[in-house]
Amino acid sequence: GNSVTQMEGPVTLSEEAFLTINCTYTATGYPSLFWYVQYPGEGLQLLLKATKADDKGSNKGFEATYRKETTSFHLEKGSVQVSDSAVYFCALQSVNTGNQFYFGTGTSLTVIP
Amino acid sequence: DGGITQSPKYLFRKEGQNVTLSCEQNLNHDAMYWYRQDPGQGLRLIYYSQIVNDFQKGDIAEGYSVSREKKESFPLTVTSAQKNPTAFYLCASSMTPLAGGREQFFGPGTRLTVL
């Protein structure tokens, strides 16, 4: 079946630290992969996506590379800011199941000044 | 501005009552979705609709019902049969899901509390 596993949080970093949030997936076929961000009390916003192996998605200093050989899509940012504090969700979209989305459990990030 | 609106933002319900959550989009998207979010868990799919007058059950449809009479609207009713309805409910939409790589756009959510 299809599933997404994210590193458990919460994660606390100092401003300007390097961020990695691990995401691995299980899927049949060739899924599309996404990272969404959720600020407190709000809905999810798309952060970046990749639709095929070796694609790199990037946005607002965040990036993630679609690694088919390791079934991973880790999120990275070189220097986090306080405003990056949020919950981050990794998700996959599977063609084999009508393009439904499968979400990870989310990783909470807090950045302290 | 195009987007998805959900109302109300906060909703309180007494046990045994049905309640309807509104979701409207002006993005001209074909597909719409309802998710439930509980603390420490990911999003779980309740119902989805790929076209007007058609919808399918998701992973946790029991105790919920939907309708899709208009392309723009996809209301969710939480019935008294839903045993633990207190949660954050998110509505989403996307262009036709027939092609991969199409992201879902989310509304701001409705927080339902059963008293």
Give the HSE-up count for residue B22: Cα atoms under 13 Å, Cβ half-sphere.
Answer: 9
Exposure string of B87-108, with b = 16+ CB inside 10 Å and e = fewer, is bbbbbbbbeebeeebbbbbbbb
| pLDDT, tens only, B11-49 | 999 988 999 999 999 999 999 999 999 987 889 999 999
- Say whether B103 and A106 touch across the interface (CB within 8 A): no
Chain A residues touching residue B111 (CB < 8 angstroms): 41
Q: Which of residues 17-76 of B touch A (CB under 8 A)?
A: 33, 40-43, 45, 48, 50
Of the listed ranges A21-30, A49-58, A76-85, B91-100, the least confidently predicted one is B91-100
| pLDDT, tens only, B102-112 | 889 999 999 99
Residue in chain A nearest B50 by alpha carbon: A98
Contacts of A52 (CB under 8 A, 6+ apart): A30, A66
Cα–Cα distance, B47 to B70 (Å, whole number): 16
Distance from CA of B92 to the nearest CA of A (A): 9
Contact B49, B66 (CB under 8 A): yes
| pLDDT, tens only, A74-106 | 999 999 999 999 999 999 998 777 778 999 999
Cα–Cα distance, A31 to A42 (Å, whole number): 27
| pLDDT, tens only, B56-92 | 999 999 999 999 999 999 999 999 888 899 999 999 9
Residue B1 has a pLDDT of 65
Q: What is the mean pLDDT of residues A56-66?
A: 97
Q: Of all helices (H) and strands (E), which one includes residue B23?
A: strand B19-25
